[in-house]
Amino acid sequence: MIAYLPLLAAVGCCLALLLPAVDDGADLVVTRIALLIFGDYVAEDGPRRRRQRDLMRAAHIAGTHRTYAAKTLLYAGVLGVAGSVVGVYVAAGLLSALDVSEATLRETLPASLGFVAGVTRLTELGLPQLFLLLTLASATLGSALAIGMYYGRWELLDQRAHARGAEIDATLPRTVAFMYALSRSGMPFPRVMDTLAENEAVYGEAATELSVAVRDMNAFGTDALTALQRTSRRTPSDDLADFAENLASVLGTGQPISAFLSDQYELYQEEAEAKQQQYLELLSTFAEAYVTALVAGPLFFITILVVIGLVLEDTLPLLRVVVYLGVPLATFGFVVYVDSVTQGVGGTETVDLSEAIEDGAEAGGAAGADGAVAADG
């Protein structure tokens, strides 16, 4: 039992990394340890730190870059050490499983797989070679887990930012329509932004992204132009970045906001229709490819195997592999491929402007009752 204590400790360390996700106290302890060990290292400014900080802002992660980066290094270090310990036990288990004579293994395996019996010679290694093998296994697994954890945590942020960008693009037309309706009712622009921030749960991720600019203006006294420009640099959506930059230019030049928002609404409606048409055409192409490659093709191959089995030799094992393994795996792979290719295509919805105007009129009327309605701009 004592021989397995390092393995149990390594597994316990790996399980302890899951506690911060479910317990705030554990998260606080892990954060303090991470900052104590890696806080000074990750605090150094540089291009990589700026890229990671922008990625965190795009993914809308709560907390500072210093905290997230320090915890990432701590997780990678713990997994690296735990993986090194587990690697030794994996190598030892492999050697124990190979503790069988080469002749016996050759008799058990088919003649075509007789070369596999050569791996049993690993048990005949001397002490230096055995030490080198265990060290290599430990370093390989430990390094793989540490590197995988480090880059995986940042890749997770990238995927989250990409998903947020797609959600922002999908909800931006409705958000712009609501802003247009509010400005059309005569509401001043700061009040338009405040009203949008109050209804971010209704208008989705685009309103959530713009509400950050609202909090920037209300909490820190930032002017609208600077807040919108920061949103343009921070957001993971190219459409929202262009919209925020153009809106800041309109505000800076004193042009009518309602006319700009109306033009943007029409533009997004046209883009939504084009994306939906592109999405339907892409799905039609994939449907034809699926019928050809994964319906007609397997049926033709199965028919050939059945005929060969009736005439020449038994093909039932190969048929089972094709039917129960090949076709399901190919179908799953096809679904994953279609999902990856069509991600972000056709996700933008068309918006009924009359509904948005009604919502804006109600919000504008409520603001008018408070005496907050003023001239546009």
pLDDT tens string 66-107: 899 999 999 999 888 888 888 777 766 665 665 544 455 455
pLDDT at position 360: 53
Mean pLDDT of the region 293-319? 84
Separation CA 117–CA 104 (nearest Å): 9
With bands split at pLDDT 50, 70 and 90, how would you rate the model's confidence at 147?
very high
Looking at the chain, the whole-number percentage of residues with pLDDT higher than 70 is 78
Torsion sign, CA atoms 348, 352, 355, 359: positive
pLDDT digits (tens, 9 = 90+) for 119-140: 445 445 455 655 666 677 778 8
Extract the tokens encoding 142: 């430990």
With bands split at pLDDT 50, 70 and 90, how would you rate the model's confidence at 361?
low
Alpha carbon 24 to its chain centroid, in Å, reads 24
Separation CA 247–CA 205 (nearest Å): 18
Separation CA 105–CA 111 (nearest Å): 11
Give 10 or 68, the one with higher predicted confidence: 68
Indicate the average pLDDT of the chain: 79
pLDDT at position 374: 41
Whether the model clears a pTM of 0.85, i.e. scores above it, the answer is: no
pLDDT at position 131: 60
